[in-house]
Structure 1
Amino acid sequence: MAKRADILIRFGKRVCNLRKEQGYSQENIAYACEFDRTYLGGIERGERKLSLRNIEWVADTLEISLTELMDVV
């Protein structure tokens, strides 16, 4: 179970770092992804399990490939 939580935390940090690199606020990127800001905050804290569709929306909004987004090693 710890590994599952770990991937959520690493993915959340990846989203947060990419968001900041591109100059998005949580509110702005959440709006662009059609998410609530609190949902995006949960993603960044590793508290949310995203659907594949939502992962794709994040990648599209950040204008990166799914492969780039998932590079959470």
Structure 2
Amino acid sequence: MKNNIQQLRKEHQITQAQLADQLEVSRQTIIALEKGKYTASLLLAYRIAHFFNQSIEDIFIYEDQ
């Protein structure tokens, strides 16, 4: 699953650490999400969407393979 987290984070001019603090996760979680090595839980996906004032579908892109 791809996502637009890094792009949104840069548009909002916040660091990985700042985003992690806001979402109450580790910086390593943000790094893994941005690299596509970790899929967010539904709860975390909602929190990310709420933080960026976007829908989950606008942030996370499901690719059927």
More strand by share: 2
Is 1:26 aligned to 2:13, yes or no?
A: no
TM-score by length of 1: 0.74
- RMSD of aligned alpha carbons: 1.7
More helix by share: 1
> Aligned equivalents of 2:27 and 2:45: distance in 1?
15
Aligned residues between the structures? 63
Query: 20, 44, 48: which one pairs with 1:54?
Result: 44
Q: What is the aligned-residue identity percentage?
A: 22
5+ residue gaps, structure 1, are 1-6
> Aligned equivalents of 1:64 and 1:49: distance in 2?
18
Inter-CA distance 54–20: structure 2 relative to 1 (3 Å threshold): same
5+ residue gaps, structure 2, are none
